[in-house]
Amino acid sequence: MLQFRFAAHSETGRVRTNNEDAGFAGPYLLCVADGVGGAEAGEVASATTTYVVSARALAHPGHEPARLLGAAAREAHAQLAAGIAADPRRTGMATTLTAVLTDGIHTALAHVGDSRAYLLRDGELSQLSHDQTLVQAMVDGGRLTPAEAAASPYRNVVLQAVDGEHVPDPDVILLDLRPGDRLLLCSDGISDVLSPAAIGRTLGLPGPSSAVDRLVLDALDGGSRDNVTAIVADVVDAPAIAANGLVLGAGFDLANVVDPAAVRPLRSA
């Protein structure tokens, strides 16, 4: 069965005073969420979304990954809406979401916003996610070059997010992973600073721990002004295991989760 052998690291960074990134890494689920743009309670949005996605994955092992991730994104939206209703000061909170889930045979990526997922296979790096941002839409429409987009002051304007106002419609992609692949999920604290070539070189380091530590350090040394979160995972074929995972960033504090008790098992994912 396909599984992930992972290392993960989240840093507040050298400029921000709080970490609005959250994440989860386990043998079957990898997830990064980035509270959008310093909006009110961005850490609540990212921690709640990560909590819902990871709780769903842990409660429903073996369920179809694409359906489960879609259902979890919608439930995260409902939780954020409830959180705003309970405390209007949270109005405007939102988060990106990039998650990869496998049932051991099938694997899906769900993506909202501009956190990223990359694949390193046989030394070649490819970006699995597609940024849902204003500048990426302009690149897709031929109005900006990738180089112009990377330097644009509007590069962090996201067109979709998980929030309390709109039901999210994640990009959901089935992935054809194989043993020996290496994945990177990261917040834009890394991808805004490090080039694809630099990311590819670092991902080629011998183990996930070395790669993830170097990616975070290189982003900070490269001048990242944001929170920095990375998960590096090797895809392996191994017997099924029962395991929890590693919680990252704002997700580590349950006080950031709108209502942990409200996240109950779904009758159908």
**21, 189 in Cβ contact below 8 A?**
yes
Tens of pLDDT along 21-74?
Answer: 999 999 999 999 999 855 569 999 999 999 999 999 998 888 999 999 999 999
Domains present along the chain, CATH in parentheses: 2-127+157-239 (3.60.40.10)
Which of 168, 95, 160 lies closest to 130 in space, CA to CA? 160
Q: What is the pLDDT of residue 153?
A: 80
What count of other Cβ atoms lies within 10 Å of the Cβ of residue 200? 17
Q: How many angstroms separate the CA atoms of 163 and 64, rounded?
A: 24
The alpha carbon of 256 is separated from its chain's Cα centroid by a whole number of angstroms, namely: 17
| Each residue's pLDDT tens digit, 63-81 | 999 999 999 999 999 999 9
CA end-to-end span of the chain, whole Å? 21
pTM over 0.85: yes
Residue 34 and residue 45: Cα distance in Å, rounded? 8
200: its two tokens: 């590819």
Q: Which helix (H) or strand (E) holds 2?
A: strand 2-11
d(Cα 113, Cα 181) in Å, to the nearest integer?
Answer: 24
pLDDT of residue 148: 83
CB-based contacts of 6, cutoff 8 Å, min separation 6:
25, 26, 27, 30, 208, 231, 232, 233, 234, 246
